[in-house]
Amino acid sequence: MKKQSTMIACALAVVSGVLLCLGGCNQSPEVVIYSNADEESRLAMQDALDRAGFSGQYIFSSFSTSELGGKIMAEGSNIEADVITASTYYLESAQQAHRMFAPLSFTFHALEKTPGFCAPLTAQEGAIFINTRALQENGLPRPASLKDLASPAYKGFISIPNIRSSSTAWLMVQALVSAYGEQEARRLLHSIVENAGPHLENSGSGPLKKVRAGEVAIAFGLRHQAVAAKNDGLPIDYVDPTEGNFSLTESVAVVDKGEATNPLAMEMAQCIIDNGRAELQTYYPNPLYEGESADSANQSAYPKTFSEPLTFELYEHHIEISEAAKP
């Protein structure tokens, strides 16, 4: 009887193992997602994936923009990631260098023409922020342009991001170069950086934090953040610089690994666009797709596009201009 019970137990164990294998042996490995998204965007994308039933089937790894861009450019299709969300100029430069992204197999209706391997997620515009209380207390005039920020009157009252560590600063450099040419842009940047002094920040959000706290009266950053701060009742306002509101987009792409490509990667990329875009637009209001709109506060006065395609090489060139301008 004991021998029979043992045999039954062994048989059940074998059957259980077979059932477990049938349920899990053929499952795809977890999709690895690399992203430079901030916390709000990351949570919106994860929420979209989880609501679609992908919970537990992906690993989400976050990087800074420059860190992720460096990995993409250096590693190409050997990168561990299956899906990447990053600055569009990095994705396009990497595709040109490595041919590392698969054509997207799903349909979307973007307002602007896009390459066939990535779909836009968010768009960010640059603008000047002001703390109205600090401006008044220090008797400072309200700036109308980026060129105004070079005035000695603003010395010690400005905070800007460092282009070497934040692509937000690139929006300011694009505007200056576009309006005044490289030589004059370098001269203006020298004065602006000198005015910023210790308030040259290594993150795009750093200047916003300082102007919100009243540590400085003026900052440069992402326009929608100033709009949100003003709507929250803070003494924050925004100025669309006459040189233009230049913008950058973030996009999603699927790494082409041939036969090793994770079959769920394309489904998740589509899910992020189809199910996540509505929540993403609550944080980044700029319309990207047909049928989307923004309220009047989130419509800039001087939307502009740089005359050259935005590439990693152009970004590095503008970094060189900025570095040469430092006091």
CA 251 to chain centre: 8
pLDDT for 325 beyond 90? no
pLDDT of residue 27: 56
Distance CA 52, CA 102 (A): 22
**How are beta strands 218-222 and 118-131 bridged, if at all?**
antiparallel
Q: Do the Cβ atoms of 264 and 324 come closer than 8 Å?
A: no
Backbone angles phi, psi at 106, to 5 degrees: -115, 160
Check if CATH label 3.40.190.10 holds for domain 29-123+249-294.
yes
pLDDT of residue 28: 63
What architecture (CATH level 2) is domain 125-247+298-325?
Answer: 3-Layer(aba) Sandwich (3.40)
Predicted confidence band at 24 (pLDDT cuts at 50, 70, 90)?
A: very low
pLDDT of residue 165: 82
Backbone angles phi, psi at 260, to 5 degrees: -85, 0
Token pair, residue 204, equals: 């795009």
Query: What integer is the mean pLDDT of 234-242?
Result: 97
pLDDT of residue 164: 86
The overall average pLDDT reported for the chain is 91
Q: In this structure, which long-range contacts are made by residues 73-78, counting pairs with CB atoms below 8 Å and at least 24 apart in sequence?
A: 73/97, 73/312, 76/100, 77/255, 77/256, 77/257
Query: What integer is the mean pLDDT of 295-314?
Result: 95
């490995």: which residue's tokens? 29
pLDDT for 11 beyond 80? no
Q: What is the pLDDT of residues 45-97, one digit of tens each?
A: 999 999 999 999 999 999 988 889 999 999 999 999 999 999 999 999 999 99
Comparing 5-14, 165-174, 302-311, the range with the smallest average pLDDT is: 5-14
pLDDT for 20 beyond 60? no
pLDDT for 146 beyond 70? yes
∠ CA 6-12-14, nearest 5°, is 105
Distance CA 164, CA 167 (A): 8
Q: In what helix (H) or strand (E) does residue 222 lie, and over which residues does it extend?
A: strand 218-222
pLDDT of residue 166: 86
Q: What is the pLDDT of residues 156-213, one digit of tens each?
A: 999 999 998 888 999 999 999 999 999 999 999 999 999 999 999 988 889 999 999 9
Distance CA 123, CA 218 (A): 23
pLDDT for 25 beyond 70? no
All CATH 3.40.190.10 domain ranges in the chain, comma separated: 29-123+249-294, 125-247+298-325
Neighbours of 249 (CB within 10 A): 21
Share of the chain above pLDDT 90, in %: 85
Q: In this structure, which long-range contacts are made by residues 318-321, counting pairs with CB atoms below 8 Å and at least 24 apart in sequence?
A: 318/163, 318/170, 318/173, 318/174, 318/177, 319/163, 319/164, 321/173, 321/177, 321/182, 321/185, 321/186, 321/189
**How are beta strands 245-254 and 83-87 bridged, if at all?**
antiparallel
